[in-house]
Structure 1
Amino acid sequence: MHERVNSVNKNVCTILVFVISLVFVNDNHLGPAQEFTSALEEFQRVSGLPVTGVFDEATKTAMNKPRCGVPDKEATYSTLIPPTVNVHQNEPNRRRKRHLAGLVSKNRQKREVSETGHMAFSKTLLRWRLMGEGYSSQLTVDEQRYIFRLAFRMWSEVSPLDFVEDTSSPLEDIDIRLGFGTGRHLGCNQRFDGTGREFAHAWFLGDIHFDDDEHFTAPNTGSGISLLKVAVHEIGHVLGLPHIYRPGSIMQPSYLPHEAGFEMDWMDRKAIQHLYGGCKGRFNTVFDWIRKERTAYGEVVIRFNTYFMRDDWYWLYENRNNRTRYGDPVALQVGWRGIPTGGVDAYVHVWSRKRDDVYFFKGTQFWKYNQDQDQAFTQDQEGWRYPRRISEGFPGVPSPIDTAFYDRRESRIYFFKNSLVYGFDVGANSLARGFPKRIRDVFPPVVSGDHPDGNVDAAYFSYTHNAVFLLKGTGFWQVVGSRDRWRRPFLPRNGLLPRKEVDTQWFDICNVHPAALRMNEHSPVHS
C-alpha cells in the first residue's frame, strides 16, 4: 500500500510540474484557476484529447504515459518573461518568475522551435558516435551500435541526409553524440528519473541521452522498450523536428510499444523533407515489373510495382502508398539474379498476345530474364545463350544505348541513343520504316525549348499513370497520351509536357551512405 501511495504521489507531482511549466510558458496574467485550466487545455490539445479544461481520467492517463524528455513547447528566455509587467502582480511573485527565467536561460539555452521544426544542420553528411563512457549495461556494444546505425539509416532513407559512424575523429568534429546514463549523467543538466517516465532526451546541438534504468531491447526480441524506436524519435529531435501529434508518427511524444513492421509515417517523411528538401538524383533505369497471379478462385490478375535503378542499387516504389519500400535501396544482385553488376542501361518488357519476354541491356549486350525462376537465362527455350550482342537480337540498333521502352500501342521498342531514337518493329524483327529519327521529331516539345534534347537516362511506360515518361538528370517529361489529346486536341502526338522534378512525382527515393548499405550482412541482432 505504501508503494502504491508513493507511486500515485509521484504521478501527481509529475502532472503538477507539467501544468505549472505550461502556466509559466503561457503566462497571460490570469488567475490561478484560469491558468491551470488554460494549461490543461493546452496539454489536451497537443495530446489529441477532447479540449475540456477538466482534469479527467483520459488526461491523467495521457500525462502518465512514458514519454520523450523533450518538452512539447520550447520555453525561451523571451517567452518566460512577459514583455510588460502587470501592475497588479506583487513584487515577490515578479522576482520569483524572473529568477526562474534566469536559471532556465543560463542552464539550457534552447532554440525556439516552430510547429514544423527548424533545419538544425546546414550540411548533408553528419557524423555520429556512441560515446565510450556512455555504453548501455543491458545490450552489447555491437548491438547498440548496430541499432543506432539502423536508426540513422531510417532517416537517411527518407531524406537527403547521410550519416556515418565516426569513432576516430576529434570529438568537436562529431555532429551527433549518443550515450546512456542514470540520474545525473554525462555532464547533463537534466537528470533522469529512473524507470517508467522519461526514456531519453535530446538537445538540438547534437547530444542524445538514454536512461539506462529503462529496459531497452533490440528489435524483435520480445518485451521491453525498443531502443530502435526511441533512437529514431530522438534523432528526429536532433535534426530539428518537434513533436508531431498524429497517430502512427514516430515523433509523437508518448512511447507506444514497438510494433512489427515499424517504419516512418507519411507525416514523418514530409516533416523531415520540409526542413531539408526532397531526394534528387539521376537513374539508369526505371520500369514497371508486371506479374500474373491467380486468385483463390482461379482468376488471373495483373500486379505490378515500379523499380528505380541507380548503379548497383534499386528501389521498389509502392504505387499504392506513393512511396518507396522500407529498407530500400537493395543491392541489384539480390533482387535480380544474373543481370550485370554496375547497373543496367535499359529494361524492356515485350508484352503482347503472343509474347511475354523481359530483357535487360548493358553496354553492347542484352540478357533475357526468366520470370518463373526469377533469374537471367543462361540459355532460353529456343537455345539462345545469354548474354547476346544487341546487334544480333535487334538488327539495326546500335550499341551501347542510352535507354529503351516497349510501346504496346504500336508493338514497337523505342531505343534511345544520343539525340536519335530507333523504332524497332517487334513483329518484323527489324527497324521500323523511316528510323532512326531525331528524338525531337518523334517526341516533340509541347512548350518550345522544353525538351531533353538527347542523352535520355530512362524511359518507361507507367501502368499506374497510364503514361510514358522520359527522365534525364533530376527531371522528367510526360509523353502526351490519347486521353490528353481527347481533352486537348491541339496537343501533338507523343508530345512532351513541360519538365518537372522527379521528386515531385515519386517520393523518398533517397541514397543511403555506402557504410549503411551493407549493414544487414554484419548484423549482431537476430530475429
Structure 2
Amino acid sequence: MKYLIIFVLLCLPVCLAYPLDKTMKKDSNLNFAQKYLENYYNFGIEMKNFVRRNDGSPVVNQIQEMQRFLGLKVTGKLDSATLEVMHKPRCGVPDVGHFTTFPGSPKWRKTHLTYRIVNYTMDMSKYATDSAIVRALKLWEEVTPLTFSRIYEGEADIMISFAVRDHKDFYPFDGPGFSLAHAYPPGPGINGDIHFDDDEQWTEDYLGTNLYLVAAHEVGHSLGLFHSNNPDALMYSLYKEPTDLTHFHLSQDDVNSIQSLYGPPPSFSDITMVPTEPIPPKSKKPDMCDPELSFDAVSTLRGETLFFKDRYFWRKIRLDQKPQIVLISAFWPSLPSELDAAYEVNSKDTVFVFKGNQFWATKGSKMEAGYPRSIHTLGFPPTVKKIDAAFSDKENSKTYFFVGKKYWRFDENSQSMDKGFPRLITENFPGVVPKIDAVFQEFGFFYFFSGSSQFEFDPNAKMVTQKLKTNSWLGC
C-alpha cells in the first residue's frame, strides 16, 4: 500500500470569507469541520449526522483526538481555537495513528541514496532551487549514516519534480493555494519520489512558499517518517512560516524519529572516542576566539565542518553547537599536521587532505589504501609545489584548487583537469583577496578565508556579499 504525503493549504479563501467570530454561520463551521475530520481523522460517513445533531460521542471523541494530536486544549467542542487551527496550512495525510514512522517502518536498505532533479520551477533560479534541495537533504544527512549524491540522468532513489494539476500519479494537484507538494515513503519505483505543485509561488526567502522548508519536510517522508504531534518538529502536520532560515535545524523529536530507523551518523560515535586520546603537554592549543586566528584548511565531513589549525581541528556538527577541538593525530594517526588544504567529495564519501606535494584520502576516520599520492597525478604542472586551498562544488562535481593568484578546476567525473585553466582568481571570484588560506561551500555560498578575514561569495551573483572574521563559525 502506498502512502502519499501532501502539503495542503487549506481553503484560505474560506478563512477570509468566514472570519472566526460569532458572525460565522454555524452550517459553514459544521461543513468545514466535517470535511476536515473526514480527511485527517478517519471520520466515516455513518458519523456525519452526529455532527449535525451534536448529540453523539463519536464526533466528540474524534475532535478530542484531533485536539490532542495538534496540542490544543482538549474540549471535544468546535471552539474558535480549534477552528482556527483547522484552517492552517498542513500536510494532507491523516493524523490518526500517533506514530512517527509509516506503518511497518519502511526504510531504505542502504545508506547512500541518489537523487535527481527532473525539472525546475520558473519562480526561482536553478541554482537557488538546487541549493534548497541540497540543504533539505543535508538536514537529515547530518544526523544519520545516510549520504546523498545527485545524478543527472536515469532513475534515482528520490526523483524530484515540479508539476501542475494531473501529473500521472493519480494524485493531481489543485492549483494555487491548496496542495503544496507530495512524497512517497522508501521503496522502488515511484516510492521515495517528491513532487512539488508548480502552481504555488516558490521562494527561497520569507515570501510565498519556502521551498527549502517544504522540501525538508517531504524528504523526511521519503526517508520513512510519518507525522509528529510535536509542534516544534519539522514533521509536525501544520506548515509553519519560516523565522530563521540560516540557523534552522531539526528538532530533537525529528532526530529521535529518524535515528529510530537508521541510527546516528558513524562520525558521532567517533566523537566519544576522541577525548580518550591525551593531548601532549607541550602542544599549545590555538585559541578559537583569537581575533587574529587564521585557518590552515577547512572541509566538511558527513555533515560536520572541520576547521584545521596547526596540530588541531575544531569539529562543528551544528551551527548552534559549541565546537570541539581535536588533535589531528588522534583522529587520523597517519596524517601530518599543519595541513595546506582539505575538501570533501560527497558522492564518494571521501575527504582529501593536502600537504606539500602529497595528498591523502579518508572515509570517516579511516585512511584509504594507496595514499599518499603526488598532487601531480591530478594534472598539476611541475611548477606547482603545494595547494593553498580547495573545495568541491556539490552542484556540478567540480573541484577548485587555489594556488597563489590562480586556480585550477578538476572534473570529478572524468578525473581530469578542465581545459582553459589555470585562471586568475579575480577573474571569476571578484572581490576575493588572494592569497587564500582555506575555502568551503555551505548554504549555497563559497566561504574564502584569508588571514583573519573571510569573504562570503555568492556564485550566482558572482560577488562578495559580506566580509566576516575568520572565527565567526566558531561562535566568536
- TM-score tier by shorter-chain length is 0.5 to 0.7
Q: What residue is the counterpart of 2:118 in the other structure?
A: 131
The answer to whether the aligner puts 1:270 opposite 2:250 as a matched pair is no
Indicate if the aligned counterparts of 2:91 and 2:237 stay in contact, CA closer than 8 A: yes
| TM-score (normalised: structure 1) | 0.47
Distance 1:202 1:121 in 2: 15
The answer to whether the aligner puts 1:179 opposite 2:161 as a matched pair is yes
Residue aligned with 1:232, SS: helix
Q: Quick one: which of 113, 131, 144 aligns to 1:146? A: 131
Q: What residue is the counterpart of 1:101 in the other structure?
A: none
The answer to whether the aligner puts 1:119 opposite 2:106 as a matched pair is yes
More divergent stretch after superposition (248-257 vs 14-23): 14-23
Q: Quick one: which of 37, 45, 56 aligns to 2:60? A: 37
C-alpha distance 176-191 of structure 1, shift in aligned 2 (>3 A)? same
Indicate if the aligned counterparts of 2:312 and 2:327 stay in contact, CA closer than 8 A: no
Q: What residue is the counterpart of 2:94 in the other structure?
A: 71
The answer to whether the aligner puts 1:286 opposite 2:252 as a matched pair is no
Q: Quick one: which of 12, 16, 19 aligns to 2:37? A: 19
Deviation at 1:339, TM superposition (A): 5.7
Residue aligned with 1:127, SS: strand
More divergent stretch after superposition (23-32 vs 145-154): 23-32
Residue aligned with 1:200, SS: strand
Residue aligned with 1:123, SS: coil
C-alpha distance 278-213 of structure 1, shift in aligned 2 (>3 A)? same
Deviation at 1:518, TM superposition (A): 4.4
Residue correspondence of structure 1 range 154-303 to structure 2 within 5 A: 154-169=139-154, 171=155, 174-184=156-166, 186-204=167-185, 205-218=191-204, 221-260=205-244, 261-281=247-267, 283=270, 286=274
Distance 2:260 2:211 in 1: 26
Unaligned runs of 5+ in 2: 1-12, 19-26, 51-55, 186-190, 280-284, 291-296, 316-325, 340-354, 356-363, 368-391, 396-439, 447-457, 466-476
Residue aligned with 1:188, SS: coil
C-alpha distance 11-183 of structure 1, shift in aligned 2 (>3 A)? farther
Indicate if the aligned counterparts of 1:69 and 1:202 stay in contact, CA closer than 8 A: no
Indicate if the aligned counterparts of 2:40 and 2:92 stay in contact, CA closer than 8 A: no
Indicate if the aligned counterparts of 1:146 and 1:524 stay in contact, CA closer than 8 A: no
C-alpha distance 213-157 of structure 1, shift in aligned 2 (>3 A)? same
Deviation at 1:192, TM superposition (A): 2.7
Give 1:68's aligned amino acid: C
Cα deviation digits, residues 272-310 of structure 1 (max 9, x gap): 00011122257598359785989xxxxxxxxxxxxxxxx
Residue correspondence of structure 1 range 295-334 to structure 2 within 5 A: 313=299, 328-330=303-305, 332=306
- For the pair shown, the structure with the greater C-alpha radius of gyration is 1
Give 2:176's aligned amino acid: T
Cα deviation digits, residues 230-274 of structure 1 (max 9, x gap): 100011011111111213211111111112121111111111000
Deviation at 1:57, TM superposition (A): 0.8
Distance 1:196 1:175 in 2: 29
Deviation at 1:22, TM superposition (A): 5.4
Distance 2:230 2:327 in 1: 40
C-alpha distance 348-277 of structure 1, shift in aligned 2 (>3 A)? closer
Give 2:237's aligned amino acid: P
Identical aligned pairs, as a percentage? 27
C-alpha distance 54-25 of structure 1, shift in aligned 2 (>3 A)? closer
Deviation at 1:182, TM superposition (A): 2.7
Distance 1:275 1:230 in 2: 21
Deviation at 1:337, TM superposition (A): 4.2
Q: Quick one: which of 336, 345, 360 aligns to 2:308? A: 336
Give 2:108's aligned amino acid: F
Give 2:96's aligned amino acid: K
Distance 2:146 2:131 in 1: 19
Give 2:81's aligned amino acid: A
Unaligned runs of 5+ in 1: 75-112, 295-310, 316-326, 350-358, 369-386, 388-456, 459-471, 474-512
Distance 1:10 1:212 in 2: 30
Indicate if the aligned counterparts of 2:234 and 2:251 stay in contact, CA closer than 8 A: yes
Give 1:201's aligned amino acid: H
Give 2:68's aligned amino acid: R
More divergent stretch after superposition (237-246 vs 279-288): 279-288
Distance 2:58 2:335 in 1: 76
Distance 1:252 1:127 in 2: 26
Give 1:35's aligned amino acid: P
Deviation at 1:37, TM superposition (A): 2.2
C-alpha distance 123-11 of structure 1, shift in aligned 2 (>3 A)? farther
Runs of 4 or more consecutive aligned structure 1 residues displaced over 6 Å after TM superposition: 3-6, 9-12, 26-31, 359-362
C-alpha distance 292-238 of structure 1, shift in aligned 2 (>3 A)? closer
Residue aligned with 1:39, SS: helix
Q: Quick one: which of 21, 41, 48 aligns to 2:71? A: 48
Distance 2:146 2:28 in 1: 41
C-alpha distance 5-362 of structure 1, shift in aligned 2 (>3 A)? closer
Residue aligned with 2:253, SS: helix
Give 1:200's aligned amino acid: A
Distance 1:54 1:360 in 2: 59
Distance 1:361 1:122 in 2: 29
| TM-score (normalised: structure 2) | 0.52
Give 2:37's aligned amino acid: V
Deviation at 1:17, TM superposition (A): 1.8
Give 1:45's aligned amino acid: R
Deviation at 1:136, TM superposition (A): 1.2
Distance 2:162 2:270 in 1: 41
